[in-house]
Structure 1
Amino acid sequence: MTVGGKDDIDGLKEIGKIVALTISEMKNQTRAGMTTKELDEIGGRFLRRYGAASAPKITYNFPGNTCISINNEVAHGVPGNRKIQEGDLINIDVSAELNGYFADAGHSFQIPLYNPSVTRLCQYTHNTMMKVISSLKHGVRLNEIGRIIQNEARKGGYKVITDLCSHGIGRSLHETPEDILPIYDKHDKRVLKEGMVITVEPFLSTGAEYTVESSDGWTLCVPDNSLCAQYEHTIIITRDQPIITTIA
């Protein structure tokens, strides 16, 4: 969507804050030994407390309130009976709707015992996301997102998951601009406009560059034993620094 005024900005910030708080609550409650279903129910209750609805559930009939992906799972992990274990790399992706406005955010973290290489992967991916966000404003080409992600991954010694993209959002979960690639595409001439609402979500991995769908029809995994981290914010493009809606 393109925001039409203060009411739109306020609505996007409201649901964005709820999404951010939900991720924070889920992360704080994550413990080794609990199932991903139990963790998802914490997120679902938190969303409902604020009157928000799970966006993947109402949009795609996703079998969970949130997406929880572990280790070789990259995205769209279905909550279930899998028990979280010490040292697991967890990704929580929460998207939600309130009063017709949508927000989407993701966060990767490791369960103790910590592995320094996993800690570095998470921190580097977060820093990459923030570098992209700080570079975006009215008039910048969309392919700048992919250029920065690709360059930062190369500098850090990581690979980019190329089949998962950033996207437009606002009045629905996925809107135009669609397929904002995480690698540079010289043929993409699209330009960011003031008021445009998009996600920024790099997926960096220790080896894989694409995902495969698991037998549940939802969960996307790497085809090898590499690990992947993802961070995501929803932002509003301005003529200066973007407005990040998904912060508490």
Structure 2
Amino acid sequence: MKRRLSLLLLILFFILSQGIAFSSPIDVRQGEQVTLTLKLVNVEGVALSNVKAFFSNAPEWISPSVSPVVSLEAKGVGNERPVALLPFTFTVDKYAAPEGVSYPLTLKISDASNGVWTKEIVLNVLSRPLPKSSALLQNYPNPFNPETWIPYQLKEASDVTIRIFDLRGQLVRTLDLGYKEADFYVSRSDAAYWDGRNNFGERVASGIYFYQLQAGSFSALKKMLILK
């Protein structure tokens, strides 16, 4: 799950380690990708280049993305100061992040001249929402050629198997996904993947196929189409 915070975080570049405090902690969820948009205002009167953001003390359950780089001119237009928006993205681990914890982090902004501006923030780690029922969802893309992803959700942990059948009901492919925790498996990184091959590694023909999810006592069947 991805979320972009609508709050702009104001960092004032005028002396080292200067910043405007956040009014409240930032709520994040386990398994969530969060983007903070930092509003940078240059009041130093000198050009700043290669400006980027990073956490100096991120725990193992936070994975920051590589920060983009921006520049700020020395002077703005008229009486306005130069402004740049710097998106900073990080991912909260789905399982390792401690639920219900408030965690202090140090967010730093640096530039090419080795200037560093520091801001202390607090993350509130909320538990991720879990499915209220198990379900097999429609594959995507559909129609497809030659590969597709099969999303599903689990109300409770179980061993998961997906079987693919042709129109005659003959088994074409078995996808043993192993033991899965209760969760949503909908993105390409989490959903089941089928490369359009049978159990012998051969490409299957165009046509209608059925895919069946078996997760514990739960079973569901849906239809998909290969179109070459």
- Normalised by the length of structure 2, the TM-score is 0.26
Larger radius of gyration: 2
Higher strand share: 2
Query: Quick one: higher RCO (CA 8 Å, sep 6+), 1 or 2?
Result: 1
Q: Is the helix fraction higher in 1 or 2?
A: 1
**TM-score normalized by the length of structure 1:** 0.24
